[in-house]
Amino acid sequence: MTTRAVEIIDMINEHRTELNEFKLPSFKKIKKMMKKFKKSKPKKTKQAFDAKAAKKKQGKSFWKKFFEGMCEASDEEKMKALAKYLKVDPEEVENNGYAFEADGEEWEVLTDDEADEKLKDYIAESLWAFNTSFLLWHITEDSVIENLGLESTYYDEDTEEEIEIEDKEEIIYLNTGMNLEELVKSYQEKYESGNQDLMNLLPDFDEFVSEAERADGRGHFLNSYDGEEVEMGDFFGYRVN
C-alpha cells in the first residue's frame, strides 16, 4: 500500500465520527418532503383571482339560469293574458318578433322579474336622459373623487410642500375645471355615449334604479305609448304602439 493511500485511510478514520453524524435521507423521506413542499406553495390572493370562488359562482349562475328556464312563462301564456285583457280571441294575438300584436295594438307582456331586469337595462342605457337634479341627488362628491381618481393635494411652490385640499367641491373643480353639476351635465351632453361615464359616478346603481321606479313607475320607462303599467293576472303589460 502506498504512503498516499495510508494517509487517506488515516484521514477517514480520524473524521469517521463526523461523517457518521450525517446520513442521507431515504428516497421515501425525500418524496414525502417534496410532497409537503408542493402543498406549502403560496396561494393566490382573492385580490388577484380566486379560482375556487369563481367556479362556485359559475355553478350558482348555471343552476339559476337552469331553473329560471324551467319556470319561464311561455309566449302562449302571455298571449292568453293579453287576449283576456283586450277581450279578444287568443288566436287573434300574434308574435311579431318585437311584441305581441292584437286589435291594432302592440304590447310587451312580462313577468315581474322580467320587467325588473328590463327596467335596469333601459335605465343603464338612458342615464343621460334623466333630470340633472335627480342624478345629483344620487351622485356624491365622494363617488366622483373616488371613481375618477382625483388628486386631493397640490404642490405649493412658495412653501415647496404638498398641500391637502379639504373642500371636496374644490378638489373636483381643480381636477376637472368644473363643479359637480357642470361635470354631470357635460356627460349628459354626450347623450348615449355618456352613459358609462355617469354609471361610473353612481355609488349604487341598484338603489338609483329603485328610486327611479318609485318616482315614476316602471311603465314610465317601458311603455312608450302612454307610460302605463297594466296588470294582466300574473303578468305586466306595456303598450309600445
The domain locations on the chain are: 71-125+218-241
Q: How does residue 154 score in pLDDT terms, banded at 50, 70 and 90?
A: confident
Chain length of the chain: 241
pLDDT for position 160? 78
Which residue is it, cell 313577468? 111
Q: Using an 8 Å Cβ cutoff, are 79 and 57 in contact? A: no
pLDDT mean over 188-205? 96
Give residue 73's pLDDT. 67
Name the least confident of 38-47, 53-62, 113-122, 137-146: 38-47
The stretch 100-119 carries a mean pLDDT of 96
Q: How confident is the model at residue 164 (pLDDT cuts 50, 70, 90)?
A: confident
The CA distance from 223 to 22, in Å, is 86
- In which residue are the cell numbers 361635470 written? 183
80: enclosing H helix or E strand: helix 75-86
Q: What is the pLDDT averaged over residues 225-237?
A: 96
Give the max Cα distance, the chain: 121
Contact 128, 188 (CB under 8 A): yes
Helix, strand, coil in percent for the chain, rounding step 5: 60, 10, 30
Q: What is the pLDDT of residue 13?
A: 60
DSSP annotation of 26: P
Band of residue 153 on the pLDDT scale cut at 50, 70, 90: confident
Residues near 145 by Cβ (< 8 Å), separated by ≥ 6?
A: 152, 168, 171, 172
* CA–CA separation, 55 and 52 (whole Å): 5
Strands of the sheet containing 230-232, edge to edge, are 94-95, 100-102, 105-110, 235-239, 230-232
| Residue 192 neighbours by CB under 8 Å, 6+ apart | 125, 126, 128
In the predicted model, what is the mean pLDDT of the chain? 80
Rounded to an integer, what distance in angstroms lies between the CA atom of residue 238 and that of residue 223?
A: 5
Query: What percent of the chain shows pLDDT beyond 90?
Result: 60
* Cell matching residue 228: 302605463
Rounded to two decimals, the pTM is: 0.66
pLDDT digits (tens, 9 = 90+) for 50-85: 334 444 444 544 444 444 444 456 899 999 999 999
Q: At 181, phi and psi to the nearest 5?
A: -65, -45
Instruction: Work out the angle at residue 172's Cα, subtended by the Cα atoms of residues 171 and 173, and round it to the nearest 5 degrees.
Output: 95
Phi, then psi, of 136 in degrees rounded to 5: -70, -20
